[in-house]
């Protein structure tokens, strides 16, 4: 077997590859050892996933949704304790941590009142953008495709040898393109609850699909808590996806032709 990214012999690799980082709530989308070699796996964790996870918009998302890292830590959030004192809140899985004191959520109002002020956090954060996002998406895109081939003999080697994927492969691994445009937009609120087929309310952490347009362009479509990302497999161009949206009522490909339960009409 050859590594999906560097194309080196990866038969001795031992690490599994999470297509979406565990720090974004993913435990199921995992590629077996060898699809991504140990060296590339470590590189992506350090140089691609970490910058994405630490970008302002994603930190804000992880704090609000209490998404822990592999070490069980939730990124802190800076705020202001009125009338003007800076505050740093560290969210524990069982409640917020203010300073170095772990408190229950209902105790926050008491702490704020005792200080005669109001604890304020940012109402939002800018949408992620730039090469930090495009490299992360390039990695996820190729690995999402590999997941569809991994159970077919020679499937991963086929993808590793496919020259049409070299541009997105090299951008993920080496940032060969200074600017690889992507499309980022919110398609539903991060706290939105869907009704499943059993009538229960569920929250969707992440979902993805590969869109093939009428002009035979391939795009990865990824949604994280309702924040939709799109990247072109074929090159540094996003106009084709925006054209597809305009011709399909701006409905996400993740939901085009489906009802709110995800069933085909």
For residue range 7-18, list pLDDT tens digits in order.
999 989 999 999
For residue range 2-49, list pLDDT tens digits in order.
999 999 999 899 999 999 998 998 888 999 999 999 999 999 999 999
pLDDT at position 109: 45
For residue range 69-105, list pLDDT tens digits in order.
877 778 877 776 666 667 677 766 665 444 443 444 4
Answer for the pair 103, 95: CB distance below 8 angstroms, yes or no.
yes
Answer for the pair 112, 119: CB distance below 8 angstroms, yes or no.
yes
pLDDT at 192 over 60: yes
Answer for the pair 95, 102: CB distance below 8 angstroms, yes or no.
yes
Instruction: For the chain, give the percent of residues with pLDDT over 70.
Output: 81
pLDDT at 129 over 60: yes
pLDDT at position 258: 60
User: Is residue 108 exposed (0-12), middle (13-18) or buried (19+ Cβ within 10 Å)?
Assistant: middle
pLDDT at position 191: 84
pLDDT at position 195: 83
pTM of the predicted model as reported, rounded to 2 decimal places: 0.83
The span from the CA of 93 to the CA of 72, in Å, is 8
* Of 28-42, 137-151, 165-179, 235-249, minimum mean pLDDT range: 165-179
Q: HEC string of the chain?
A: CECCCCCCECCCCCCCEECCCHHHCCCCCEECCCCCCHHHHHHHHHHHHHHHHCCHHHHHHHHHHCCCCCCCCCCCEEEEECCCEEEEEEEECCEEEECCEECCCCHHHHHHHHCCCCEECCCCCCCCCCHHHHHHHHHHHHHHHHHHHCCCCCHHHHHHHCHHHHHHHHHHHHCCCCCCCCEEEECCCCCCCEECCCCCEECCCEEEEEEECCCCCEEEEEEECCEEEEEECCCCCCHHHHHHHHHCCCCCCCCCCECCCCCEC
For residue range 109-120, list pLDDT tens digits in order.
444 445 555 656
Residue 96 in tokens: 């917020």
């Amino acid at each position: 077997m050859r590594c999906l990214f560097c194309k080196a012999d990866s038969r001795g690799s031992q690490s599994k590859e999470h297509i979406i980082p565990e720090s974004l709530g993913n435990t199921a989308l995992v590629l077996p050892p060898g699809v991504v070699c140990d060296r590339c796996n470590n590189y992506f964790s350090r140089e691609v996933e970490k910058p994405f996870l630490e970008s302002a918009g994603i930190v804000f998302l992880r704090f609000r949704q209490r998404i822990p890292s592999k070490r069980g830590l939730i990124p802190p959030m800076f705020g202001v304790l009125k009338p003007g004192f800076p505050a740093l809140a560290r969210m524990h899985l069982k409640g917020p941590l203010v300073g170095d004191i772990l408190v229950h959520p209902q105790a926050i109002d008491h702490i704020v009142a005792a200080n005669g002020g109001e604890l304020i956090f940012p109402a939002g954060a800018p949408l992620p953008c730039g090469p930090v996002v495009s490299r992360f998406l390039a990695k996820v895109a190729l690995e999402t495709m590999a997941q569809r081939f991994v159970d077919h003999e020679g499937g991963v080697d086929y993808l590793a040898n496919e020259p049409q994927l070299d541009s997105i492969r090299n951008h993920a691994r080496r940032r060969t393109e200074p600017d690889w445009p992507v499309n980022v937009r919110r398609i539903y609120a991060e706290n939105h609850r869907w009704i499943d087929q059993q009538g229960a309310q569920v929250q969707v952490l992440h979902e993805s699909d590969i869109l093939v347009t009428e002009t035979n362009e391939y795009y990865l479509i990824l949604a994280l808590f309702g924040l939709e990302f799109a990247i072109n497999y074929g090159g540094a161009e996003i106009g084709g996806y925006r054209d597809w949206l305009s011709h399909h009522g701006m409905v996400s490909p993740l939901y085009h032709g489906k009802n709110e339960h995800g069933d085909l009409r």
